[in-house]
Amino acid sequence: MLSRTFRSASRLQISPLAIALVLLAATTLLGGCATTQADGKPRERNPDPFEKVNRGVFRFNDTLDRYALRPAATIYRDYTPKIVQTGVGNFFDNLGGPTTILHQFLQGKFKEGTQDTGRFLLNTTLGWGGLIDVASGGTNLPKHDEDSGQTLGWWGVPPGPFLMLPFLGPATLRDAPARIADDFTQPFRWYDSGSERWFSLGLSFLDRRAQYLSLDKTLAQTYDPYVFVRNAYLQRRLYLVFDGNPPQSAQSGDDANWAEEALRESEEPAVDDLTPSEKGVLTLLTLHQKDVDTLIQESKLPSSQINAVLTMLELRGLIRRMPGNNFVRLH
């Protein structure tokens, strides 16, 4: 597997040594991010020291999205049959299974890794290659999301400064180089045909963008869209690293003992600080998927409010957005 990854890197004109050096450099930089004051107390970190540059990249990405990605995603959502959109979303969602399984085991989450292995095998065989999400139909096999950045965070590597990447969007100094490793685990990277590889990559981006079109109105109503995106990303990554229950030291900026404290604390995400609306919607969701229209009918909330509630629950790592604008509870 490793040799195949290096061969793929060569085809893409990326040196495997360069990848290793990038990951090593990032880890070294992250380890040196902690600073102390003269009295020996930890100095409060600025999560966004590159804000001026990041805002420029954010404006570039927003312009690209407004004139290219968003119109294409809108056409895809409005004119593609919903059953096709669901199948496409399920297919690409299933392709991420091996990556999640790998990182479940790297984090010592053997129960979750076994569950995701079962999901992947079931959907790949009985689900026609992943087009049908058979595993969500009463098998009691919850879906998880893991990646290299989460694994590094679980083992104590702090996130580092916030970064806004051209074309790719928000990241951190830890997550950005980790994406390189995850990129080579995607099956379409191994296609011999360049046209098939780029078509699969493009369709995956288009499907993912279409799933988040409902959030555009919420983002447009915020006072500062950049700050909203930055804070939402950092909070979501924090909750993902610790499965919805980050330790107090992680929330306060002290990264030294994240993994150790997380192991001592409850495995269930904290829900005491949820609003009544968020708690109400959360109780309506189970391990089985529900679409937005069903949640609107059952919760009696207006569509604008239900979208905001679902966004906050997703950022906290309590629910997951599924293909076809469906949602499922993770815990």
Q: In the 3-class helix/strand/coil scheme, how is the chain assigned residue by residue?
A: CHHHHHHHHHHCCCCHHHHHHHHHHHHHHHHCCCCECCCCCECCCCCCCCHHHHHHHHHHHHHHHHHHHHHHHHHHHHHCCHHHHHHHHHHHHHHCHHHHHHHHHHCCCHHHHHHHHHHHHHHHHCCCCCCCCHHHCCCCCCCCCCCHHHHHHHCCCCCCCEEEECCCEEEECCHHHHHHHHHCCCHHHHCCCHHHHHHHHHHHHHHHHHHCHHHHHHHHCCCCHHHHHHHHHHHHHHHHHCCCCCCHHHHHCCCCCHHHHHHHCCCCCCCCCCCHHHHHHHHHCCCCCEEHHHHHHHHCCCHHHHHHHHHHHHHCCCEEEECCCEEEECC
Q: Are 217 and 59 in contact (CB under 8 A)?
A: no
Place of tokens 């096709």: 84
Task: Find which of 148-152, 211-215, 271-275, 308-312 is predicted with most confidence, using mean pLDDT.
Answer: 148-152
| Mean pLDDT of the chain, nearest integer | 78
Q: Higher confidence at residue 162 or residue 305? A: 162
pLDDT confidence bin for 164, thresholds 50/70/90: very high
Residue 18 scores a pLDDT above 60: no
Q: Between helices 51-64 and 225-241, what is the axis angle to 10°?
A: 100
What is the pLDDT, as a whole number, of residue 193?
Answer: 64
Confidence of residue 40 (pLDDT cuts 50, 70, 90): low
Cα separation, 327 vs 290, in Å, equals 5
Query: Per-residue pLDDT tens for 66-96?
Result: 999 999 999 999 999 989 998 998 999 999 9
Sorted by where each begins, the domain ranges of the chain are 81-146
pTM over cut 0.85: no
Q: Which residue has the higher pLDDT, 78 or 2?
A: 78
With CA atoms as reference, report the closest residue to 146 among 107, 185, 184. 107
- For residue 181, give every residue at least 6 positions away whose Cβ sits within 8 Å of its Cβ, in sequence order, or none: 19, 23, 148
**Between residues 294 and 124, the one the model is more confident about:** 124
Question: Cα separation of 151 and 330, whole Å?
Answer: 18
Give me the mean pLDDT over the 46-74 stretch: 95
More confident residue, 28 or 111: 111
pLDDT tens digits, 96-107: 999 999 999 999
pLDDT at 2 exceeding the cut of 50 = no
Question: What pLDDT shows up at residue 80?
Answer: 93
Share of the chain above pLDDT 90, in %: 34
What does the alpha-carbon distance between residue 168 and residue 306 come to, in Å, rounded to a whole number? 27
Number of other residues whose CB lies within 10 A of the CB of residue 140 = 10
pLDDT digits over 126-140, tens only?
A: 999 999 988 877 677
